[in-house]
Chain A
Amino acid sequence: MLLSAGVRTNIRYRIFGILRRLLILLLVVWTVVSLVTLLIELVPGDPAVAVLGEQATPEQFAQFREKHGLDRPPFFFSFPRDNNGERHFVWHGSENRYTDYWRLLLHGDMGLSFRNDQPVRDLILERYPATIELAIFAMAIAILIAIPLGVIAGTNRGTLIDNGASVVALLGISLPSFVIGPMLVYIFAVKLHLLAPSGRFDWSDIILPAFTLGAALSAILTRMVRSSVIEELGEDYVRTARAKGLSERTVVYKHVLKNGLIPVVTILGLQLGVLLAGAIITEKIFGWPGLGLLLVEDGINKRDYRVVQGCVLVISMTYILANLLTDMVYRWLDPRIRVG
């Protein structure tokens, strides 16, 4: 196979670019895991006291610390106070809590819950599908609202419809989920008795949480689709398409929307992470048994720090993965940005 010099340079450039990005990705993942691993050191005082309470016996404390590895040094080194109250540098070597947690992770484990000794991994695996389901439904609702609304607003610029859509979008952006959610509960559960206020038992139970979670995203998307459509309508190819005699409908939906969606896809991918974080609040409002509820009710409220670590780690990793996929889709959609 003979390749021209230019193509070869191009390929080498791209491979170098991919390797560089892979390296940054690995560094980022390593740092994120390290930060989560070390978060537990932020707990003021002794985690064992925070979990068991002051009234526990010394034996209970000792047993708890040993079971969860809290009797081991926190990091490779530390600066403990000596009897005179002065701090000294102490080297602990590789047997410490930091490496312990990494060892667990590399074995696909996340330690035991501080509260009920269940493996954190199992708790998370049990809850993860509910959160993903909620995020996907929220995204679907946001897209179903935003694309038609944005296209209509963009193609009818300046009309009552456009202004109405802008106002709705502004409301969606400024009303946080913890206001929208309880309001929806009030309307649909308390007043109309149409839907259950919380839980995940019936298929219809996802409607309110998904709408609550997707509201802000649909507002952002509507604004993006609108300005994207307006921008694309001014391009030369639209004039060409119209000159060919294509119907306005074909022009808008086949040409304008296709090009206009590139920035929207990016936002969608980046917003998946925001949805996952937002799901923490939405799940709390609706008692939706996902990762967020696990994090808040079992982790934070009960000071089960292992559960908090696991949830934060899984949510961040999902976020990183979503961003990576977005980036790849983005590059595939728009060949101009493939190199670099």
Chain B
Amino acid sequence: MLSVADVTMNRLTIIGLIIVVVLVIVALFAPWIATYDVGATDLSMRYLGPSAAHWFGTDSTGRDIFSRVVYGARISLKVGIIVVIVSAFIGTILGAIAGYYGGWVDRIVSGYVFNVFLAFPGLLLAIAMVAFLGAGLNKLILALCIIGWVGYARLIRGQVLKVREYDFVQAARALGASDARILLIHILPNAIQPLIVQASLGMAGAVLSEAALSFLGLGVPPPAPSWGVMIEEARDLSTLQAAPHALIFPGIAIALTVLAFNFIGDGLREYLDPRQRAR
């Protein structure tokens, strides 16, 4: 017997891809999709339930929740993409150097730097940094990159350690190829596959962290329609009582986004590691 968790991963991966494509379209064309001005408050229109005029209803100041969720996708994806690209880039360079050269370089990077970064719960380090730097989108991205690169570095180091022993690498070395050439042309292309999995899971993590920090008041300052900010604004008792949809719609948006990137990551991992497929 096979189960959801075993087989439908491929189907789930496709669902994940569809959600991500929709998200990207929504984020790119937000000004055309959003039906209202995201900042326009109208106290006579507060706490309205979902209707034809306001698909997701309105919040405690009468802003249209659908339009805010649409614009929120922009913030989430922007943070996610920048954080993943920057962390993956830094992580790959440092991980590859540590794995390729070994010796004291590796001992410092993997024995010391990795351990220091892993000694902090990631979110705490980000919270601490933004708390001292002051809130803001750029500082949030910086903090997430600083905690993010370690995962990629560890992964690439392990991959490079494995690949550098392969025959074709020895052959390249025997032919007199330079270290840079061996690393860039021969080792990295063969070590990079799991990075794609990590990047997909990293997108999920970055979207979650952005929402969490914004929820704590450490991300994008409040008028901006970050999903985390929307949830923070929707959770006081009077708003919960009058307009639970103000919490539910941004909540669904976060959950779907995170779920989609997790689906893609899991699916890719399975695709790249056939041993898991057999199970």
Contact = CB atoms under 8 A, between A and B. Distances in A.
Interface string A291-306: 0000110011100010
Contacts of B119: 28-29, 31-32, 316, 319-320, 323
A176 B212 contact: yes
Nearest to A305: B132
Contacts of B256: 174
Nearest to B227: A179
A5 B87 CA distance: 48
B175 interface: no
Interface string B83-109: 000000000000000000000000000
A189 B258 CA distance: 27
Interface residues of B, number: 51
Contacts of A175: 251, 254-255
Contacts of A40: 132
Interface in A173-196: 173-176, 178-179, 181-183, 185-186, 189-190
A148 to B, nearest CB: 17
A316 B147 CA distance: 14
A32 B262 contact: no
Nearest to B241: A190
Given A158-B1, A179-B254, A281-B216, A276 B121 contact: yes
A179 B248 CA distance: 8
A277 interface: yes
B184 interface: no
A42 B217 contact: no
Contact of B124 (A27, A197, A277): A277
Interface footprint category on A: 35 or more
Interface in B26-41: none
SS class of chain A's interface: helix, strand, loop or mixed? helix
B217 A190 contact: no
Contact of B4 (A162, A280, A312, A320): A162
Interface string B180-216: 0000000000000000000000001000100110011
Interface string A122-157: 000000000000000000000000000000000001
B115 A24 contact: yes
Contact of B1 (A157, A277, A301): A157
A28 B115 contact: yes
B121 A315 contact: yes
For A163, A186, A197, the residue with the greatest tally of chain B CB atoms inside 10 Å of its CB is: A186
A182 B123 contact: no
Contacts of B217: 296, 300-301
B116 A159 contact: no
A85 to B, nearest CB: 24
A18 B212 CA distance: 38
A277 B211 CA distance: 15
B55 interface: no
B251 A186 contact: no
B247 A179 contact: yes
B216 A284 contact: yes
Contacts of A299: 131
B232 interface: yes
A190 B247 CA distance: 14
A221 to B, nearest CB: 15
10 contacts: A31-B116, A32-B120, A158-B3, A159-B3, A163-B3, A175-B251, A178-B212, A185-B235, A190-B240, A231-B279
Interface of B: 1-6, 111-112, 115-116, 118-124, 127-129, 131-134, 204, 208, 211-212, 215-218, 228, 231-232, 234-235, 237, 240-241, 244, 247-248, 251, 254-256, 258-259, 262, 279
**Nearest 8 interchain pairs by C-beta:** A158-B1, A277-B121, A179-B251, A182-B235, A42-B132, A158-B3, A174-B259, A163-B4
Given A159-B3, A186-B244, A278-B123, 16 more contacts: A28-B112, A28-B115, A32-B119, A35-B116, A44-B133, A174-B258, A176-B258, A178-B212, A179-B255, A185-B240, A231-B279, A295-B127, A305-B132, A315-B124, A316-B119, A319-B119
